[in-house]
Structure 1
Amino acid sequence: MSAGSNQMNVAVIGGEGIGPEVTTQARRVLSWFIAKRSLPVDLTEAAYGLEAYRATGEVLPPESRKVIDAADAILFGATGGAETKEVPIEARKKNTLLKIRKSLDLFANVRPIVTQPGLYEAAPLKARVLEGVDFVIVRELSSGIYFGEPRGIETLPDGSRRGFNTTSYTTAEIRRVARFAFELARTRRGKLCSVDKANVMETGVLWREEVVAMHAAEFPEIELTHMHVDNAAMQVVYRPSQFDVMLTDNIFGDILSDAAAVAAGSLGMLPSASLGPVDATGRRQAIYEPVHGSAPDIAGMGIANPIGSILSVAMLLRMTLGQPEDATLLERAVSDALAGGARTADIVEPGAKPMSTSGMGDAILDALERLAH
């Protein structure tokens, strides 16, 4: 937030692959709200990834880092892909998205899974399975196996090689994301399913013990259940409507949210928010981004689905800008556009003609204009 004003700062970082294409549409939508709804928001573009490296020799140039640190929220596109082999491994490792999340202490990743009736025919699951699906996966984001040490690849005495990673969780790391998930469940249907692998992993045992203790001490009114991750992977496609809030660790949340994309119709439909702690001024830094990756195989073709990025704007409106009515308006516009037949290639029915990335952006903006009048 700008000093002496209520102006919020949002950094816009397209990144790599299809990231810039989908983020362009998300920025168009956010700009509509700034212009038509008088949102006090300043948008600042920042470079990241291959193009930034070509221009500066840095994946994340110092100027981009300054923009990130000053931002109240970051609207991010995607990172990685085959074309990034041009970037040396050490330059890439220096400023990965994982390290940016860690540096901002973004510990809670929120991934809503909501079905769209307009996509029932295009979705891979039966309509009766999709009815009433509306749940949120809360994934611990700054600890676990993606950050554990030691890690590496070593050569053994016999000449063979061994790769190894370490997963660990502390009480504090589990409890803060669990508290976030319990508090979220309070605002929804009051149900929380905690997913672990307590039958074979010590981190899972600790995870379950800490969640149970917090539930008893602070959230007894919430209906708490537990599920092993292998069962959860089946349940998110077999009966996803049973879930309200799902809490899990870093790697399990990464995998389960991708699996749950079949309920939404496509990975391109899913938004996310990565949230840090609230500081003394009430500020909470956040990254809003689609769940999908950089999809280098279709980058530059103008066919990527921008809805995950656009719905990430809805999350930004609700969670950082404090505009729940605007967030609901945008979600309705997306639903209306889909109900009216707007389809990109990943969600199109057999035999129908898909529209471009910008065409989907146009359809959602048209729906916003109709709903706003």
Structure 2
Amino acid sequence: MATHKLLLLAGDGIGPEVMGEVKRLIGTLEAKAGMSFEVEEDLVGGAAYDAHGVAVTDSAVAKAKAADVVLLGAVGGPKWDGVPYDARPEAGLLRLRKDLELFANLRPAICYPALADASSLKRELVDGLDIMIVRELTGGVYFGEPKEIVDLGNGQQRAVDTQVYETYEIVRIAKVAFELARVRGNRVTSAEKRNVMKSGLLWNQVVTATHKQGYEDVKLDHMLADAMGMQLVRAPKQFDVIVTDNLFGDVLSDVASMLTGSLGMLPSASLGAEDPATGKRHALYEPVHGSAPDIAGKGLANPIAMIASLGMALKYSLGKPELADLVDRAIADVLASGLRTGDIWSEGKTKVGTTAMGDAVIGRVEALLAA
């Protein structure tokens, strides 16, 4: 039996609480599904800064590189607003993405049938929604240089962020999108701002050229990123796979996530390039929600996005797609039963806390495994 190496980085705020439910599910998969895990834990974000003065240590990064899967909870909070910019909690996550070369971020926006009425859109617009946003994660304006604030004198300053993309970065993310589309709805929509940005013009040209190099069976459309933002709230089910750059991917994926009813519901995967020799790739999985410091430590957090992140790891890194589907089914079944954490609660449903929701999902996983 293969033993999978997991690194758990709970982070800040509600991170430790939702990670606790994943640790229990890992135990269930070992006991009931015949899986074997070697689990390590370390610090990231504000917790790492408090302990070590940096947002992630060299040792933690080394553990991440050695792991088959990294699971991360959440980072940040007002407690660390005054720390140096390079040591802010988010810098730990950015370093992990960069050092592990996690260039492809997969963010699904799935509306579970039981939550269609929790969306801010009408039920008919979101019922059955299943979008995958493929965001380029290690290039663009978040990493481009120069990145600086310059003192111009006379009380004036100038801030500079640089949007930079090279051809190879666009090619590899486009290929991920096309290959994902082939096992989904076979449609890709590429989003950029080619009308006002040179990087957008190159993005459009390279995605088009890549499509012609072995992916012409996939339907490809192009859309300006601002128009896509409008279309996501007008008719979101027109999309299958969306591929876009780091900045627009950050914005559009948050828009798409709220179509589903709550940020607390959705997982994400950040993947590196496949090693030609081993077929393995670095991978980090995390919920898309933040650290929610206002409810941290109160047992109120929704653990579903963290649990679903483990589900994505089973599918994309651990070679267990059937177990990934089982975890998704367990979540859907629990939601259909009427259980809700506060972020997705509505009149007539049963409000529960973090542990009770974890109990329900894990219990349903066990029942499905025994069926």
TM-score > 0.5 by shorter chain? yes
1:311 shift after superposition: 0.6
Q: 1:101 Cα deviation (Å)?
A: 0.5
> What residue number does 2:200 align with?
204
Contact 1:123 1:347 in 2 (8 A): no
Map of 2:259 onto structure 1: 263
1:125, 1:262 within 8 Å by CA — same for their partners in 2?
Answer: no
Say if 2:80 and 2:89, in contact at 8 Å, map to a contact too: no
SS in 2 for 1:287: strand
**Aligned position for 1:55:** 51
* Aligned equivalents of 1:94, 1:198: Cα separation in 2: 29
Distance change >3 Å, CA 115–CA 40, structure 1 → 2: same
Q: Does 1:22 align with 2:18?
A: yes
The change in CA–CA distance for 1:58 and 1:160 in structure 2 (over 3 A counts) is: closer
Residues 1:197 and 1:94: Cα distance change in structure 2 (over 3 Å): closer
**Contact map agreement 1:237 1:262 (CA 8 A) in 2:** no
Residue 351 (structure 1) shift: 6.3
Change (3 A) 1:89 1:125: same
Counterpart Cα distance in 2 of 1:147 and 1:93:
16
CA distance in structure 2 between the aligned counterparts of 1:214 and 1:49, rounded to whole angstroms: 37
**Structure 2 match to 1:33:** 29
Equivalent residue, structure 2, for 1:126: 122
Counterpart among 161, 169, 186 of residue 182 in structure 2: 186
- Asked if 1 retains the 8 angstrom alpha-carbon contact of 2:45 and 2:90, the reply is no
- TM-score, length basis structure 2: 0.95
Could you report, residue by residue, the CA deviation over 1:43-64 in whole angstroms, capped at 9, with x for unpaired residues? 1111223333333444323442
Give the secondary-structure state (helix, strand or coil) at the position aligned to 2:339: coil
C-alpha change, 1:90 and 1:113, in structure 2 (3 Å) is closer
User: Which ranges in structure 2 are unaligned for 5 or more consecutive residues?
Assistant: none
Give the 3-state SS of the residue equivalent to 2:154 in structure 1: coil
* 1:195 pairs with one of 169, 191, 194: 191
Q: What is the rounded CA distance, in whole Å, between the counterparts of 1:169 and 1:319 in structure 2?
A: 26
Counterparts of 1:242 and 1:27, CA distance in 2: 37
Distance (Å, rounded) in 2 between the aligned partners of 1:252 and 1:181:
15
2:77 alignment counterpart: 81
Which residue pairs with 2:303 in the alignment?
306
For residues 1-373 of structure 1, the aligned pairs below 5 Å read 6-85=2-81, 87-92=83-88, 96-279=92-275, 280-350=277-347, 352-372=349-369, 373=371
User: What letter corresponds to residue 114 of structure 2 in structure 1?
Assistant: G
1:92 shift after superposition:
3.5
The CA deviation at 1:99 is 1.5
Superposition RMSD in Å: 1.7
Cα distance between partner residues in 1 of 2:78 and 2:227: 33
Whether contact under 8 Å (1:140, 1:248) holds in the other structure is yes
Cα distance per residue 1:98-143 (max 9 Å; x no partner):
1110010000000111111111222222110112211100000000
What per-residue deviation string (whole Å, max 9, x for no partner) do you get for residues 69-108 of structure 1? 2111101001111122475444338952111100100000
Unaligned 5+ segments in structure 1 are none
Distance 1:144 1:282 in 2: 27
What is the distance in 2 between the residues matched to 1:87 and 1:158? 27
User: Which amino acid letter does the alignment assign opposite residue 241 of structure 1?
Assistant: K
* Identical-residue share of aligned pairs (%): 47
Matched residues in 2 for 1:130 and 1:57: separation? 44
Amino acid at match of 1:182: F
Q: Check 1:147–1:33 CA distance in 2 against 1; reply closer, same or farther (3 A cut).
A: same
Structure 2: distance between partners of 1:154 and 1:350: 53
Aligned residue identity for 2:204:
R
What is the DSSP-based 3-state SS (H/G/I as helix, E as strand, rest coil) of the residue aligned with 1:297? coil
Aligned-partner residue type, residue 78 of structure 1: A
- The alpha carbon displacement at 1:353 in A equals 4.9
Q: Which moved more, 1:346-355 or 1:168-177?
A: 346-355
Distance of 1:124 and 1:35 partners within structure 2: 40
Separation of aligned partners in 2, 1:242 and 1:318: 25
Name the SS of the counterpart of 1:163 in structure 2: strand
For the residue of structure 2 that corresponds to 1:96, the secondary structure is helix
**What is the CA distance between 1:294 and its match in structure 2?**
1.2
Number of equivalences:
369
TM-score (norm: length of structure 1): 0.94
- Which amino acid is the alignment partner of residue 120 of structure 1? A
State the distance in 1 between where 2:182 and 2:60 align: 37
Given that residues 271 and 284 in structure 2 are in contact (C-alpha distance below 8 angstroms), is that contact kept between their aligned partners in structure 1? yes
Residue pair 1:50, 1:86 contacting (<8 A) in 2 also: no
2:150 and 2:157 in contact (8 A); partners too? yes
